[in-house]
Chains A and B, each alone.
Chain A
């Protein structure tokens, strides 16, 4: 069973559209994150949630709105998509062992 799963794996959309990426973890972890990896392959933290509460928002534009309906899910909604949003987005989670597990990534392409 996949520990951290994201859908969709690929997303191609036009500028100005609104899209969502879903993430679910079946590890019973309390903390979940969203990371962005741009074309230069630099991985940057975007958001961190602990027990459905937002802990960290790393100066991400407010067009990005994470939503955590429960501890196992952290979805990412993006409004008014721009070309610069094209990247690979990774969801991750951490539990008491402090090991972080990552999803397989969602490759977003804005055209």
Chain B
């Protein structure tokens, strides 16, 4: 079972920042926080991951609270192409255990 809780849906105006929250209150010390998204019926796409420090890449920023019980994915300037289901997943950082998907958040970017 997924160890994360996300809101089922969110809207965001095009050009504004999209902030997607995720709760993972039972996260273990060796578990990373991963974010993936699925656009329409394509294969899930990796966005970003982190352990405890905030992370930024060309797609997004990941803010993890100090107690690691929650995190926020930030898309700084959302576009219509960012409309997708976003999944927050926790997974151990060693070995290749599979990603366990929850229901995710359906983000709708509105013009």
Q: Which residues of A contact B (CB under 8 A)?
A: 4, 30-31, 33, 35, 41-45, 48, 50, 56, 88, 90, 92, 94, 98-105, 107
- Most B-side CB within 10 Å, residue of A43, A44, A104: A43
Near A by CB (< 8 A), chain B positions 39-71 give 41-46, 49
Q: Count residues on chain B whose CB falls below 8 Å from chain A CBs.
A: 20
CB pair A104–B43 under 8 Å, yes or no, is yes
With known contacts A92-B43, A105-B43, A100–B103 Cβ distance under 8 A: no
**Interface pair A98/B42, CB less than 8 Å apart:** no
Is chain B's interface secondary structure helix, strand, loop, or mixed overall? Answer: loop
Q: A-B pairs with CB below 8 Å: how many?
A: 51
The answer to whether A98 touches B98 (Cβ under 8 A) is no
Chain B residue contacts of A43, Cβ below 8 A: 38, 44, 101
Distance from B101 Cβ to chain A, minimum over Cβ atoms (Å): 4
Please list the residues of chain B having a beta carbon within 8 angstroms of any beta carbon in chain A: 32, 36, 38, 41-46, 49, 85, 91, 93, 96-101, 103
Q: A98-B93, A99-B49 are in contact. Are A105 and B42 (CB under 8 A)?
A: yes
Whether the Cβ atoms of B96 and A48 lie closer than 8 Å is: yes
The answer to whether B85 touches A41 (Cβ under 8 A) is: yes
In the complex, the answer to whether B41 meets A33 with C-beta atoms within 8 Å is no
When C-beta atoms are compared, the residue in chain A nearest to B91 turns out to be A98
Q: Are B44 and A102 in contact (CB under 8 A)?
A: yes
CB–CB B41/A98 < 8 A? no
CA distance A43 to B45 in the complex (A): 13
